[in-house]
Amino acid sequence: MLTDWTNTTWGQVVVGVSILGLGAAHFGKGSDLMSKSVMGISVGTVAGAVGVLIGLTTLLGMKGE
């Protein structure tokens, strides 16, 4: 239920942009985008939260395999 939104088109775009942004910022590209704010929350914070959520649920899903 926590990650059902990732099955929507909007959710897939958010996840893709988050991963792309985090990767680009790591390599020194797009860091200015990650520091921008939308409604008082930085894009980097949203991207980081999405990365943690998806990474954690992916790893927890592998536990039973």
Is the pLDDT at 1 greater than 70, yes or no? no
Question: What pLDDT band is residue 20 in, cutting at 50, 70 and 90?
Answer: confident
Return the amino acid letter for 13: V
Return d(Cα 14, Cα 65) in angstroms, integer.
27
Is the pLDDT at 65 greater than 60, yes or no? no
Cβ atoms of residues 6 and 19 within 8 Å: no
Is the pLDDT at 38 greater than 70, yes or no? yes
Predicted pLDDT at 63: 64
| Global pTM value | 0.71
